[in-house]
Every structure is written in C-alpha cells, then in structure tokens.
C-alpha cells in the first residue's frame, strides 16, 4: 500500500483530528450529492429573491398583480419564506454537511446514491410545496405553509434518505475525537426530523396549535439552521487560519446551553397571546439565558481570530464566515432584547421583526453559506475562482444590501410600532411612518438580488472552467499559505 500524499498547507485540519486518507480521497466520492445540493440551492436562491422582490414591491404598488389570486401578497410572501428557508438555506446546509461530515470524521460519504435521490425528492417537494402555496392550497400555518398532504411526505422521504446517508457516514468515523462542528451538524440531523413530524401532526387545535406551531417554527431556526451554520463557522475559521479553536471547554458550554435554552424559547413569538403566563414567562427567561451559548460561541470565535484579522483581506471564505459569525451574536442580542415584554409590545406587529428575521437568515445563515461555498466549490471543480473582482462585487453588494435592509426596517418598524400604540393617531399613520423605509428595503432587496445573480454567474463560470487555474487576486495563494503555515502574515 502506498503512503497517502502529504496534506497541502491549505488543507490543514483542526489540530485535534487525525488523518489517514488525503482530503481528496475523502472529498471525491461525495462530490455529486454536494454539487447537486449547491446547484439546486442556488436555483432556489434566485427564485426566493424574485418572490422577495415582488413581495417588497407590493408595499409600493399595492394594486400590482392583483388580477390573479396566485400573486396576492400573502401567497408571494409565503412562497418567498419557503423557497428561502427550505430551498436555499436548507439545501445549501445539506451540501455543506455532506461535505463537512466526511472531512471531519475522516471517511468518505456513505450511501451516496441514496443522498442524491434524497436531494432530488426534497426538490420535488419544494416544487410541489411552493406550487401548492401559489395555487391557494397552503396549510395556513406559519413556517409550515407547504401542503401537508402533497408536499410534506416528500420532505420526510427526501430528508430521510439524506439523513440515512449522513448517519451511515457518522457510524464509520475514524477520527480519535469528535470535533465540535460534528456535534452541531449531527444533532441538527437528529432534531430537525423530530420537529418536522411534530409540527405537522394534525392533532392540535386552537391556542394549543399556535403553541406547537411556534415551538416548531422557533426550533427550526434554533435546531436546524443555527447549529449547522455554527458548525460551519467552527470549521472554517480554524481551517483557513490553520490554528485550533480557542477553547474546547467553551465550545462544550456553547453547545449544551444552546440545546437546553433554545428549546424553551418558542413562546416568545406569542407574547401577549392567549397562552398561560408561565409559558410566556419561561420563554422570556430562556431568551435572556441565551446570552450563555451566544457569548460562549462569540468569545470562542473571536479569540480564534485574534491576531489574524489580516487574513480577512485574502480569504473570501473567512470574510463571509466572519461576517456571519458576528451577525449570529447581533441577531441573538437583538432577539433577547425583542423578547422583553415592553419592547415586544412596540415591535411585535411591525417591520422590526422582519429586520430581525433577515439579520438571522441573511446576515448570519446566508453569509455563512456563501463563505462555505467559496471554500468548497473550488474543491469540487478542482480549479480556482475565475475572478477576484466578482467575489468583491458579490461581497459588497450583499453587505450593502443587508445593512440597508436591516437599518431601514428597524427604524421604520419602531416608528410604525410607536404610531400604532398612540391612541391619538389613526392606524393609517403607522403605515405612513414606515412607508419611506419600505422604499429603502425594496432598493436593498434589488441589491441583494444583484449580489445573488453575480454569485450564481460566478459559480457557473467556475464549473465551466473546471480544473483550470483562476485569476483570483483574493485567493492569491501565498499570503494564505504563509498564514496557514503560521510563519509570516499574522
Ligand atoms: C438568542 C437568540 C434569539 C432570540 C432570543 C430571538 C428572539 C426572537 C423573538 C422574541 C422573536 C419574535 C418577535 C415577534 O414576533 O415579536 C423572534 C423572531 C424571529 N427570529 Fe429570533 N431570536 C434569536 C435568534 C435568532 C436566530 C439565530 C435566527 C435565525 C437563524 C432568528 C430568526 C428569527 C425569525 C426568522 C423570526 C421571525 C419569525 C416569524 O415571525 O416568522 N432568531 N426572535
Ligand atoms: C433578495 C433578498 C430578499 C428580499 C428582497 C426579501 C424580502 C422579503 C419580504 C418583502 C418579506 C415579507 C415581509 C413582510 O411580511 O412584511 C420577507 C420575509 C421573510 N424573508 Fe426575506 N427577503 C430576501 C432574502 C431572504 C433570505 C435569503 C431569506 C432566508 C434565507 C429570507 C427569509 C425570510 C423570512 C423567514 C421571512 C418571514 C419573516 C417573518 O415572518 O418575520 N429572506 N422577505
């Protein structure tokens, strides 16, 4: 048996993981499922952006597209949410997980055909589900709008196939130690199916149903989107910098306190709703306790970066992932603040909540996914990114767009809420207060859509130039290699 080839510097692993196979031996067998997840995720990103733009424009042109029931605001908004959450974000995260799990436990992906089939079925579920919303067959339950009878069985089947492939891979782990990213990713694959089935059980009625609905909807954020993205951040920051994570103890604290406190948070979506006070109060206390996992993760990531911020100039992966990590802290602090009864009274029925949603789902989840793709796609194509300029344009459009989106809706939301609570003002005044900020949101939405167009075009270009060296100043290998080898650049 020949010795495996030496590991090149940019492939340095977190220090705690031992290796017998080369990274290429591990990556190659799983390429197809990862590529299919990414390709379809990007298609859903474009579709979701289109629905988001249409929904946003309807605030400026309420009479636009009113001739057909398919294009009412309610339908388009739900189509946007589902295309983005279960299409873009989930498929991107599935792709990242199918790539990361084998890397982290040092064994190739198992049951690859099953994973491929699962991804295809998941996509059929999305087409049926989003179609069912537009055709007026929505279940009318937030975050579970896609039709329970037609679409949901496809998600269970497709997700089941993908999950079995991930579990089969996990069962073959060869490393001496389970790195923290694995805890997060593996637990997300355990939690999400339980939540999805529970959230869809047709046995709850009235306010009981509202409680189960928000238990599901909150935990899909906390136990599906969040752990996979935190797992990715825990992988990519040490990987690109070539140094181990700052503290193993803090990563343990962050993981277990997330598992404990996040599950109790759900009822903060129903503050003021018709539920027992103890349920709401527990969720508010748990929202405050979220400071523990959030601070643990933030300190750990920050301390790993300390002294190496210069690498942000050279690594697109690091840039997007670090922005995402900072946004995780921001959305969580904002969330704990929003859970205070006095704050929630002002913000609940306003655009503030939409701003918070997009700090979470865009600035955190989407940016981490972009960063992860910047790392993984060249390893799928065997070539570099063709253009440093396109990466820059993507980054700045995304940053500018999301900053404008969030700032505008946060200010507009508070003004709207204060006007709504003022008995001297008619309801119309609250809509007027938010109006200019909604125009800014539409402009921001178009910036984000342009960013997505640039990114998708760049990925297509990278695939077409498979195996060829790129002209990327971003990925100029020297500075990264120097910093990875721990010799030169800080
Ligand atoms: C400490 C962590 C967090 C806390 C305490 C928190 C708190 C809250 C609260 C109180 C609301 C309800 C606002 C209302 O309806 O009045 C909310 C909504 C929301 N949060 Fe968070 N949040 C946290 C983290 C996150 C993260 C990490 C994400 C994204 C990954 C996220 C995404 C959302 C979304 C999408 C909604 C809107 C749900 C809807 O109405 O459809 N949050 N959050
Ligand atoms: C092109 C960029 C985007 C635009 C223009 C956009 C626009 C919108 C609009 C207009 C709404 C409805 C707001 C309302 O009900 O008043 C919305 C809601 C929502 N969007 Fe986006 N969005 C974009 C990107 C994303 C992304 C990438 C995600 C997820 C990965 C996402 C997730 C959501 C969610 C979960 C909601 C529901 C929020 C809530 O109920 O609190 N959006 N978006």
Handedness of CA 389, 395, 396, 398 (dihedral sign): positive
Q: Domain spans of the chain?
A: 25-177, 307-490
- Ligand 1 pocket at CB < 6 A: 142, 221, 225-226, 265, 268-269, 287, 290, 294, 331-332, 335-336, 338-339, 344, 347-348, 353, 356-357, 360-361, 364-365
Q: Whose CA is nearest to atom 37 of ligand 2?
A: 81
- Number of Cβ atoms within 10 Å of the Cβ of 263: 16
Centre of ligand 1 from the C-alpha of residue 28, in Å: 38
Ligand 2 center–CA 187 separation, angstroms: 26
Choose the residue to mutate in 48, 74, 352, 412 for probing ligand 2, maximizing ligand atoms within 8 Å of C-beta: 48
List the structure tokens of 378: 């060249």
DSSP state, 87? Answer: I
Q: Indicate which atom in ligand 1 lies nearest the CA of residue 338.
A: 10
% of the chain exceeding 70 in pLDDT: 91
Tell the residue number behind the tokens 């295809």, with chain if given: 120
18: left (phi over 0), alpha (psi -120 to 50) or beta: beta
**Three-class SS state of 387:** strand
Strands (E), 205-363: none
Mutate to test the pocket of ligand 1, among 80, 184, 220, 221 (most ligand atoms within 8 A of CB): 221
17/105 Cα distance (integer angstroms): 8
188: which residues sit within 8 A by CB, 6+ positions away? 93, 97, 223, 224, 227, 228, 231
11-15, 63-67, 371-375, 422-426, range with the lowest pLDDT:
11-15
In tens, the pLDDT along 310-366 reads: 899 889 999 999 999 999 999 999 999 999 999 999 999 999 999 999 999 999 999
Q: Say what the pTM is.
A: 0.92
Compute, in degrees rounded to 10, the torsion defined by CA atoms 112, 115, 116, 119. -160
Question: Is the pLDDT assigned to residue 83 strictly greater than 90?
Answer: yes
Task: Compute the distance from residue 173 Cα to the ligand 1 centre, in Å.
Answer: 35
CATH number of 307-490: 1.20.210.10
Q: What is the pLDDT of residues 236-279, one digit of tens each?
A: 999 999 999 999 999 999 999 999 999 999 999 999 999 999 99
What's the DSSP call for residue 178? -
Q: Which of 326, 315, 329 is nearest to 241 (CA)?
A: 315
Determine the Cα–Cα distance for residues 216 and 34; give it in Å rounded to an integer: 27
CATH architecture designation of domain 25-177: Up-down Bundle (1.20)
pLDDT value at residue 24: 80
Chain Cα centroid distance, residue 468? 30
Q: Concatenate the DSSP letters of all residues of 8-73 into one string.
A: PGGGPPPTT---SS-HHHHHGGGHHHHHHHHHHHHHHHHHHHHHHHHHHHHHH-TTTT-SSGGGSH
Residue nearest to atom 20 of ligand 1 (CA): 357
253 CA from centroid of ligand 1 (Å): 22
Domains 25-177 and 307-490 share a fold: no
Is residue 96's pLDDT more than 50? yes
Beta bridge partners of 387: 471
Distance 289 CA to ligand 1 centre (A): 14
Q: Kind and range of the H or E element at 225?
A: none
Residue 60 neighbours by CB distance under 10 Å: 12
User: Per-residue pLDDT averaged across 96-118, rounded?
Assistant: 95
* Mean pLDDT calculated for residue range 53-72: 94
Atom of ligand 2 nearest to the CA of 353: 41
Q: What is the pLDDT of residues 287-304, one digit of tens each?
A: 999 999 999 999 999 999
Least confident of 30-44, 69-83, 166-180, 389-403: 166-180
pLDDT tens readout for residues 432-443: 999 999 999 999
pLDDT tens-place string over residues 151-160: 999 999 999 9
């Amino acid at each position: 048996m020949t010795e495996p080839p030496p590991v090149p510097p940019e492939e340095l692993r977190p220090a705690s993981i031992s290796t017998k196979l080369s990274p290429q031996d591990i990556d190659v067998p799983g390429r197809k499922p990862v590529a299919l997840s990414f390709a379809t995720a990007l298609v859903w990103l474009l579709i979701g952006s289109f629905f988001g733009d249409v929904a946003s424009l309807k605030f400026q042109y309420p009479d636009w597209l009113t001739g057909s029931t398919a294009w009412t605001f309610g339908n388009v908004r739900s189509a946007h949410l589902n295309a983005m959450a279960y299409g873009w974000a989930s498929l991107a995260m599935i792709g990242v997980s199918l790539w990361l799990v084998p890397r982290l436990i040092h064994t190739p992906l198992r049951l690859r055909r099953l994973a491929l089939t699962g991804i295809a079925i998941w996509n059929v579920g999305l087409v049926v589900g989003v179609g069912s919303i537009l055709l007026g067959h929505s279940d009318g339950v937030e975050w579970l709008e896609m039709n329970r009878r037609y679409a949901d069985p496809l998600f269970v089947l497709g997700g089941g196939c993908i999950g079995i492939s991930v579990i089969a891979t996990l069962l073959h782990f060869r490393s001496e130690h389970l790195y923290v990213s694995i805890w997060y990713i593996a637990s997300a694959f355990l939690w999400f199916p339980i939540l999805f089935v529970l959230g869809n059980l047709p046995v709850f009625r009235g306010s009981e149903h509202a409680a189960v609905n928000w238990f599901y909807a909150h935990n899909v954020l906390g136990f599906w989107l969040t752990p996979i993205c935190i797992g990715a951040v825990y992988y990519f920051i040490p990987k690109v910098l070539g140094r181990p994570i700052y503290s193993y103890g803090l990563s343990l604290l962050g993981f277990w306190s997330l598992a404990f406190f996040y599950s109790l948070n759900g009822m903060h979506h129903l503050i003021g709703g018709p539920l027992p006070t103890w349920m709401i109060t527990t969720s508010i206390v748990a929202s405050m306790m979220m400071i523990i996992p959030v601070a643990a993760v933030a300190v750990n990531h920050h301390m790993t970066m300390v002294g190496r911020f210069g690498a942000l100039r050279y690594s697109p992966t690091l840039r997007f992932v670090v922005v995402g990590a900072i946004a995780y802290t921001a959305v969580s602090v904002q969330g704990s603040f929003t859970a205070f009864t006095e704050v929630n009274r002002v913000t609940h029925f306003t655009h503030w909540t939409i701003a918070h949603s997009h700090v979470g789902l865009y600035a955190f989840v989407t940016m981490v996914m972009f960063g992860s793709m910047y790392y993984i796609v060249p390893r799928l194509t065997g070539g570099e990114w063709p253009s440093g300029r396109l990466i820059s344009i993507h980054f700045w459009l995304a940053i500018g767009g999301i900053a404008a989106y969030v700032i505008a809706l946060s200010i507009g939301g508070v003004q709207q809420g204060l006007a709504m609570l003022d008995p001297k003002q008619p309801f119309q005044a609250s809509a007027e207060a938010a109006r200019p900020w909604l125009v800014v949101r539409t402009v921001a939405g178009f910036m984000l859509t342009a960013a997505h167009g640039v990114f998708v075009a760049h990925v297509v270009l990278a695939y077409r130039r498979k195996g060829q060296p790129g002209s990327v100043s971003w990925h100029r290998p020297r500075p990264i290699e120097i910093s990875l080898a721990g010799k030169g650049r800080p």
